[in-house]
Amino acid sequence: MGIETEYGVLQQGNPLANPMLMSSQVVTAYRAISSSARGRARWDYDDEDPLLDARGFHVPRASAHPSMLTDDPSHPAPAGPVAGPPSGTAEELQSITRPTTEAYDDPSAANAILTNGARLYVDHAHPEYSSPEVTNPLDGVRWDVAGERVMLVASREVAAHMGLDIQLYKNNIDGKGASYGTHENFLVDRAVPFTTIIELLTPFLVTRTVFTGSGRVGLGATGKDAGFQMAQRADYMEAEVGLETTLRRPIINTRDEPHADRLRWRRLHLIIGDANLFETATYLKLGTTSAVLWVLEHLDALPGARGALAALRLKDPVSDVARVSRDLDLTALLDLADGRQMTALDVQRGYLDVIRRVFDVTGWDDASRDVTDRWDSVLTRLSTDRASCARDVEWVAKLRLLEGLRSRDSLAWDHPRLRAMDLQWCDVRPERSVYHRLVAAGAVERLVTDAEIAVAVAHPPTDTRAFFRGEAMARFPGEISAASWDSVIFDIPGAPSLQRVPMMDPWRGTQEHVGALFAEHDDAGEFLTALMG
Q: Note whether 2 and 286 are within 8 A (CB).
A: no
pLDDT value for 87: 37
Widest Cα–Cα separation across the chain: 73
- Residue 72's nearest CA partner among 91, 92, 49, 94 is 49
- Residue 250's nearest CA partner among 273, 227, 231 is 273
Residue 300 CA, distance from chain mean position: 30
Q: Note whether 77 and 86 are within 8 A (CB).
A: no
Cα gap 360→362, rounded to integer Å: 6
Residues paired with 43 in a beta bridge:
483
What phi and psi values does residue 129 have, to the nearest 5 degrees? -110, 120
pLDDT value for 377: 98
Cβ atoms within 10 Å of 294's Cβ, excluding its own: 17
pLDDT value for 245: 62
Contacts of 17 (CB under 8 A, 6+ apart): 10, 11
What phi and psi values does residue 481 have, to the nearest 5 degrees? -80, -40
Q: What is the pLDDT of residues 427-459, one digit of tens each?
A: 999 999 999 999 999 999 999 999 999 999 999
Cα gap 114→473, rounded to integer Å: 7
3-state secondary structure of 141: helix
- With the C-alpha atoms ordered 84, 246, 393, 120, is the resulting torsion angle positive or negative? positive
What phi and psi values does residue 326 have, to the nearest 5 degrees? -95, 0
Q: Note whether 32 and 162 are within 8 A (CB).
A: no
Where the chain has pLDDT below 50, the residues are 61, 64-65, 67-72, 74, 79-90, 101-108
DSSP H stretches of helix in 311-343: 317-325
Cα gap 336→315, rounded to integer Å: 5
What phi and psi values does residue 121 have, to the nearest 5 degrees? -160, 180
Cα gap 192→486, rounded to integer Å: 22
Contacts of 265 (CB under 8 A, 6+ apart): 187, 188, 189, 190, 258, 506
3-state secondary structure of 152: helix
Residues paired with 501 in a beta bridge:
488
Cα gap 111→106, rounded to integer Å: 10
Residues paired with 98 in a beta bridge:
none
Cα gap 258→505, rounded to integer Å: 11
Cα gap 252→272, rounded to integer Å: 8
353-366 burial: b if 16+ Cβ within 10 Å, else e = ebbbebbeeeeeee
- Residue 112's nearest CA partner among 457, 483, 453, 466 is 483
- Residue 270's nearest CA partner among 308, 232, 241, 300 is 241
pLDDT value for 77: 52
Strands (DSSP E) found in 425-533: 480-484, 487-490, 498-502
Q: Note whether 28 and 127 are within 8 A (CB).
A: no
pLDDT value for 359: 93
DSSP 523: S
Q: What is the pLDDT of residues 121-176, one digit of tens each?
A: 999 889 999 999 999 999 999 999 999 999 999 999 999 999 999 999 999 998 88
Cα gap 380→446, rounded to integer Å: 20
Length of the chain: 533
Contacts of 250 (CB under 8 A, 6+ apart): 237, 238, 239, 240, 241, 242, 243, 244, 271
Q: What is the pTM of this model?
A: 0.90
Which class for 143: exposed (0-12), middle (13-18), buried (19 or more C-beta within 10 A)? buried
- Residue 142's nearest CA partner among 408, 456, 439, 527 is 456
Cα gap 452→461, rounded to integer Å: 12
Strands (DSSP E) found in 264-406: 265-270, 334-335, 341-342
Just list the catalytic residues.
Answer: 123
Cα gap 117→456, rounded to integer Å: 10
Strands 94-96 and 57-58: unpaired
